[in-house]
Amino acid sequence: MIRFSNVAKSFRKTRVLDDISLDIGLSERVALIGSNGAGKTTLIRCLLGEYTFDGQVTIDGRDPRQERTAVLGAIGFVPQLPPPLKMPVAQLIDFSAALCGTDPVRIHELAQRLGLDLTPILARPFVKLSGGMKQKLLIAIALGRDAKVLVMDEPAANLDPEARKIFFELLAERQEDVTMLISSHRLNEVSALVNRVIEMDMGKVVLDDRVADDVSLSGQFACRISIKRNEAAFTKAMQTWNFRDLGNGLEWEGEVPGPDRLRFMGMTSRYVALISDYSLQEAGKVMPPAEPGAASLADGAGESAN
């Protein structure tokens, strides 16, 4: 599907990509991680045909520099930084739809599912939308085409929990027929979304691991947390995740999307001294009762600790 063969790229005399060779197949979901300046964006730009480089890149056998329109029509791209487009929202949707031969109605429907009501903002310049609105619209545009490849740079960073959940569901609907490349600084943010991790450092691939693919993108975890005393910061955090207060802010219940569970656990680990009981159970799975005093979040037991 995607093939990088001995790809090298220099800016002036600085080598930024150094002999990258990778094969990424259909239905692979790849996290492209690495620190600032590792070369992730440059690799993506080579894939999108934006740069000249040494070596070869192909998508489905097509060269993105030679057949740019055809290749770009088959790639859904969500950039980390939204472009500063002054174009009104309606025009942007129509323009993007025409570019890849899709029906603008598909984009409207996807935006609606992500919780973005387009009606009041159709005439507004794209650049004047909030960060989250821009992200939702760019995701709707990227998913609204029959893309074979989805390239996303920190795609869920600006989304609220409800929109993240829908976003994961939308990815789940596409996972069999697309290849996903998700770039991020933080593996935690994307690890549960992917089945392969590629790490870059100083222009080279330093790790390429296939990882367990055991939680479906549309899976849910039922979560219950009890705390020892009421604390405003914890209440706020729980409300952000749409959890329900079962009693004076001391007991909370809610649902966590499967791909978001590490992010959720990372957030709750900040309150570990406060937590007296914690359970996170995959929906549809019945867990055996835990031993009294069994593992807790504090000792890293994680997902079914009780």
Ligand X SMILES: Nc1ncnc2c1ncn2[C@@H]1O[C@H](COP(=O)(O)OP(=O)(O)OP(=O)(O)O)[C@@H](O)[C@H]1O
Nearer residue to ligand X within complex by CB, 16 or 280: 16
Instruction: Tell me the closest approach of the beta carbon of residue 291 to ligand X, in angstroms.
Output: 43
Nearer residue to ligand X within complex by CB, 62 or 185: 185
The amino acid present at 215, given as its one-letter code, is V
Nearer residue to ligand X within complex by CB, 11 or 119: 11
Instruction: Tell me the closest approach of the beta carbon of residue 189 to ligand X, in angstroms.
Output: 13
Instruction: Tell me the closest approach of the beta carbon of residue 233 to ligand X, in angstroms.
Output: 29
CB 137 within 8 A of CB 236: no
Q: How far apart are CA 222 and CA 208, in angstroms?
A: 32
Nearer residue to ligand X within complex by CB, 11 or 101: 11
Q: How far apart are CA 78 and CA 137, in angstroms?
A: 10
Q: How far apart are CA 225 and CA 106, in angstroms?
A: 39
Instruction: Tell me the closest approach of the beta carbon of residue 37 to ligand X, in angstroms.
Output: 4
Instruction: Tell me the closest approach of the beta carbon of residue 7 to ligand X, in angstroms.
Output: 12
Q: Is residue 40 classed exposed, middle or buried when 0-12, 13-18 and 19+ CB atoms within 10 A define those classes?
A: buried
Nearer residue to ligand X within complex by CB, 38 or 57: 38
Instruction: Tell me the closest approach of the beta carbon of residue 153 to ligand X, in angstroms.
Output: 8
Site residues, ligand X (CB under 6 A): 11, 16, 34, 36-42, 185
The single residue listed with the structure tokens 């935690």 is 188
CB 207 within 8 A of CB 236: no
Nearer residue to ligand X within complex by CB, 40 or 134: 40
Nearer residue to ligand X within complex by CB, 50 or 253: 50
Q: How far apart are CA 198 and CA 187, in angstroms?
A: 10
DSSP per residue over 239-282, as a string? HHTTPEEEETTTEEEEEEEGGGHHHHHHHHGGGTTTEEEEEEEE
Q: Distance of alpha carbon 19 from its chain centroid, rounded? A: 27
**Secondary structure element (H or E) that encloses residue 32, with its range:** strand 29-33
- The CA-atom distances, in angstroms, between 9 and each of 39, 220, 284 are 10, 42, 48
CB 42 within 8 A of CB 32: no
Instruction: Tell me the closest approach of the beta carbon of residue 38 to ligand X, in angstroms.
Output: 4
